[in-house]
Amino acid sequence: MKTFGYVRVSSKEQNVARQIETMKAEGIGELDIFIDKASGKDFDRPKYQLLKQMVREGDIVVFDSITRMGRSMNETMSEYEWFVKNAVFLRFIKEPMINTGNEQEDIMKQAIQKIILTLLTAFAEKERDEIRTRQAEGIAVAKKRGVKFGRPSLAMPKDWEKYYKQWKAKEITAVQFMESLGMAKATFYRKVKEYEAD
């Protein structure tokens, strides 16, 4: 029997340190902690899929919360059942009432767990939808106020127009244009696109 930990955050910017410390406190070594930085909307996550390949009957997988497993009600319940059917025990630190164990043969316990699991995964999906709605509303409001999203536009370098006209008149090459302004190729062509779009 081996114990694994699974850690997930929704984006690369989010920190996994707290969840990792929680797993270590459970006695799980770093090599047995699987980490994904991906949305919980589905289960097409590399480390999660690797974890499923690694686990064997009698192993334990620890999650900080059911939301770290997933945020889609039907898919999360299906994944939960996969572990149960494969005799892999699940432990949820924040929701111990849905932990699985040797007492799973108790049909009443299974029924109660299924009800609780349904509620928890439904709330997780609803919360995810609300977060997306709030983000979309926030972006819409910010855009109305003139806030621009994405990579900020670089100011046009000094003498840009002079070299641009020479380049367009075929008096200089694109390489000479870039070198004159000390620009990288990708930046140069991005600035040309911006300039010509104005």
CA distance linking residue 198 with residue 188, whole number of Å: 16
Q: Is 10 a catalytic residue?
A: yes
Nearest to 167 by CA among 188, 197, 141, 139: 188
CA distance linking residue 192 with residue 188, whole number of Å: 6
From first to last of the 198 residues of the chain, give the pLDDT tens digit.
Answer: 899 999 999 887 788 999 999 999 999 999 999 999 998 888 999 999 999 999 999 999 999 999 999 988 899 999 999 999 999 999 999 999 999 875 555 776 777 778 888 888 887 777 767 766 777 767 777 777 777 665 555 567 778 888 888 988 999 999 998 888 888 888 888 888 877 765
HSE (side-chain half, CA atoms, 13 Å) at 162:
5
CA distance linking residue 76 with residue 16, whole number of Å: 21
CA distance linking residue 131 with residue 167, whole number of Å: 48
Residue 33 phi, psi (nearest 5)? -105, 120
User: What per-residue confidence (pLDDT) applies to 108?
Assistant: 67
- The strands making up 33-37's β-sheet, listed across from edge to edge, are 33-37, 3-9, 60-63, 89-92
User: What per-residue confidence (pLDDT) applies to 89?
Assistant: 95
Nearest to 54 by CA among 5, 104, 103: 5
User: What per-residue confidence (pLDDT) applies to 154?
Assistant: 55
Residues 110-121: pLDDT tens digits? 777 788 888 888
Token pair 């999203």: residue: 149
The answer to whether the predicted template modeling score (pTM) of the entire model surpasses 0.75 is no
User: What per-residue confidence (pLDDT) applies to 71?
Assistant: 87
Under DSSP, is residue 5 helix (H, G, I), strand (E, B) or coil?
strand
- Of the listed 10, 39, 65, 180, which one is catalytic? 10
